[in-house]
Chains A and B, each alone.
Chain A
Amino acid sequence: MNYDKILEELNVIFISVLDNDDIKINGNTTAADYEEWDSLNNILLVVAIEKHFKVKITSADFQSWKNVGEMAKTIETRLNQ
């Protein structure tokens, strides 16, 4: 799965978890862009991402993400391992 497809599927996850149909993420999106993206939803996002993509996210991954693009790149790397 390539980066753009991962972003597309992440968008569906974000809409569901943050309960906001207007969400349109891109590589530069951060938690500051959506008020619904709080600490609890951050946990639910990671839960949904691991379940959807069937990848393992590490603490190092989690702490290094500065935006959705970095999140998507981690997922892309895991999927291609």
Chain B
Amino acid sequence: MQTGDKFVHTFEVTPLIYERFIEAYADRNPLHVDAEYAKARGFKDIVMFGNILNGFVSYFVGECLPMKNVYILSQSIKFAQPVYMHDTLEFNAEVTDYIEVVKSYGFKFYFKNQAGVKVAKGEIQIGLII
């Protein structure tokens, strides 16, 4: 893996992911569970939890890279647009740097939905377990 390498993976926000997220974290903010509340505030339906996308980032690091001896050192994400149930998100990541002395790769990433709208973007720094 080297600077400039690109990765693409597609995720779907399924009811199972949404329900398990609530079960695990007990976040029942009305924006995420009450459709009438969300619609009254300009959204087309309940908004998915932003941190579901962080779970997708975790999957990318743990399962999509060419090596398994990885761990996340830091991660940031900015949410630009709402994500809804059943959205199909295309995750795009690019290796931005490799700091050889500490065996650490940096990535920039973004998610775009099925309409081609960027819904979130961020950065990841991972380390390699040697």
Contacts and interface: CB of A to CB of B under 8 A. Distances in A.
Interface of A: 40, 42-44, 46-47, 50-51, 56-59, 61-62
B101 A62 contact: yes
23 contacts: A40-B73, A42-B102, A43-B102, A43-B104, A43-B127, A44-B73, A44-B125, A46-B99, A46-B102, A47-B73, A47-B99, A47-B102, A47-B104, A47-B106, A47-B125, A50-B101, A51-B97, A51-B99, A51-B106, A57-B101, A58-B101, A62-B101, A62-B102
A50 B99 contact: yes
Q: Is the interface of B mostly helix, strand, loop or mixed?
A: strand
Q: Which of B74, B97, B102, B106 is most buried by chain A, counting CB atoms within 10 A of its CB?
A: B102
Interface in B73-90: 73-74
A5 to B, nearest CB: 22
Interface of B: 73-74, 97, 99-102, 104, 106, 125, 127
Contacts of A62: 101-102
Contacts of B99: 46-47, 50-51, 57
A40 B125 CA distance: 12
A27 to B, nearest CB: 21
Given A43-B104, A50-B97, A50-B101, 8 more contacts: A40-B73, A46-B101, A47-B73, A47-B99, A47-B106, A50-B99, A51-B97, A58-B101
A37 B125 CA distance: 18
Contacts of A46: 99, 101-102, 104
3 closest A-B pairs by CB = A43-B102, A46-B102, A57-B101
Contacts of B74: 44
A57 B98 CA distance: 12
A6 to B, nearest CB: 18
B124 to A, nearest CB: 12
Contacts of A47: 73, 99, 102, 104, 106, 125
